[in-house]
Amino acid sequence: MAEIKYNWTYEEINTIFNTPLLELIYKAASVHRKYHAANRVQVSSLLSVKTGGCPEDCSYCPQAARYHTNVKVHKLMEVGEVLQSAQNAKANGASRMCLGAAWREVRDNKDFDRVLEMVKGINQLNMEVCCTLGMVTEEQAKKLEAAGLYAYNHNVDTSEENYSNIISTRNYDDRLNTIKNIRKTKITVCSGGIIGMGEKAADRVAMLQVLANLTPHPESLPINALVPVEGTPLENQQTASIWEMVRMIATARIVIPDTQVRLSAGRTQMSMEGQALCFMAGANSIFAGDKLLTTPNPDFNEDMEMFKILGLQPMEAFQHHKQKEKAVLND
Ligand code: SAM
Ligand code: DTB
Ligand code: SF4
């Protein structure tokens, strides 16, 4: 059950996904303990370095220019401001800093050069630095690598079949191609998706199958619960229940045992008990800080209180890889 493999069939994952919930949590918790220190949770900080005005039509996203949301467009931030923000996040216990830009793709211009400076600066703070900037070419990925980028986030978001219902301005292969370009470097891959967009259970299973058959596996796998934002096509969408979230996290943990599963967007809607079940089911990372990119996130002090109650400790930077090496040595 806890083996690492890259040839998962839809049926295999579907069987795991449909396991009675408590049994599923138990299995996922067992896998989690085999590959990770279960009391360690990575605290990442998110910063929107370029906000809104995006040409894409992702129906969940408040930053798409074509939807009328309350998001204020902001041009690319200055390097100094970003480094200050990273320093503050580090002082609050964050070991990873994730920079997001509302771009369709990276262009070879002054703005990209500035992002490279941000990456260099954060790397010097001894934090894991992650970027999510849209599509990248192999050459751009190499520049990010040279600047010291640790991870690149590029979500597949949903199943290939459902993709065109959510986004029409790019296709699934565009997404997979960027992941391939990142894989041509030493940068680690962060890729996951969103639940609660009106997709079927079959789409969730199919999405996990795509991620579980990427070779190598993504080192990090965010599971977001849709945050419905006024003005977007999904504004009235019924949000995913905590049970759906737990089932998704547990299945992800079992099919990709050694990844960091990130309990990402949607935590403001979840109780502490609900989040505890997510950690039990194998989630080992959160975004902390009162804002995600543009939407609210739980209060930082409340999260630290939750860690205290649940006996969780923030993970240090670059630990995940060290732990993985140790697990291999102990085998
Ligand atoms: N523009 C880049 C891209 O699309 O890859 C980077 C930024 S984009 C905001 C990063 C990810 O945030 C998306 O792939 C999506 O999974 C997630 N996201 C965006 N809006 C969301 C929402 N309302 N609820 C949950 N997740 C969301
Ligand atoms: C991911 O999967 N979730 C984060 C991070 N990667 C970049 C972003 C969540 C964004 C939620 C909507 C917003 O705040 O704008
Ligand atoms: Fe643009 Fe990314 Fe939002 Fe899509 S998810 S509209 S690409 S910022």
Ligand whose nearest atom lies closest to the CA of 133:
1
> How high is the pLDDT of residue 290?
85
Q: Calculate how far, in angstroms, residue 331's C-alpha sits from the geometric centre of ligand 1.
A: 37
Q: What are phi and psi of 231, to 5 degrees?
A: 100, -20
Q: What angle do CA 77, 83, 85 make, to 5 degrees?
A: 85
* SS3 of residue 73 by DSSP: coil
Residue 48 in contact with residue 76, Cβ under 8 Å? no
Q: Which residue is associated with the tokens 């074509």?
A: 66
Assess if residue 1 is contained within a domain. no
For ligand 2, the distance from its centroid to the CA atom of residue 198, given in whole angstroms, is 18
Q: Which of 47, 50, 63 to mutate to test the pocket of ligand 3 (most atoms within 8 A of CB)?
A: 63
CA–chain centroid gap for 21, Å, is 23
Question: How far apart are the CA of 20 and the centre of ligand 1, in A?
Answer: 30
- pLDDT < 70 regions, the chain: 1, 320-331
224 assigned to some structural domain: yes
**For ligand 1, is residue 102 a contact (CB within 6 Å)?**
yes
Report the atom number in ligand 2 closest to the C-alpha of 262: 2
The number of angstroms, rounded, from the C-alpha of 12 to the middle of its chain's C-alpha atoms is: 24
Atom of ligand 2 at shortest distance to CA of 192? 2
- Residue 4: inside a domain: no
Query: Would you say the C-alpha torsion 73, 285, 220, 144 has a positive or negative sign?
Result: positive
User: Ligand 3 pocket test: which of 47, 48, 51, 56 has the largest number of ligand atoms within 8 Å of its C-beta?
Assistant: 56
Asked if the structure places residue 279 within a domain, the reply is yes
For residue 316, the 8-state DSSP code is P
Residue 329: the pLDDT is 44
Residue 5, domain member (yes or no): no
- Residues tagged active-site: 54, 58, 61, 98, 130, 190, 262
Residue 2, domain member (yes or no): no
pTM exceeds 0.85, yes or no? yes
Q: What is the DSSP string of 18-58?
A: TS-HHHHHHHHHHHHHHHS-TTEEEEEEEEEEEBS-BS---
Choose among 206, 289, 262: nearest CA to 36: 262
CATH number of the domain within which 80 lies: 3.20.20.70
Please report the pLDDT score of residue 324 as a whole number.
53
Domains: count for the chain: 1
CA-based torsion, 138, 56, 163, 193: positive or negative: positive
Which of 182, 183, 173, 178 lies closest to 134 in space, CA to CA? 178
Look at residue 328 in the predicted model and tell me its pLDDT. Answer: 43
Q: From CA 38, how far away is CA 267, in angstroms rounded?
A: 20
Domain that holds residue 215: 10-330
Predicted local confidence at residue 331, as pLDDT: 45
296 alpha-carbon distance from chain centroid:
16
The rounded distance, in Å, linking the Cα atoms of 110 and 69 is: 28
Helix (H) or strand (E) holding 142: helix 138-147
Ligand 2 neighbours, Cβ below 6 Å, are: 46, 62, 98, 100, 132, 153, 155, 192, 222, 224, 227, 264-265, 292-295
Distance (Å) of CA 187 to CA 128, 161, 184, 194: 11, 28, 8, 23
CA distance 75 to 54: 11
Q: Is residue 3 part of a domain?
A: no
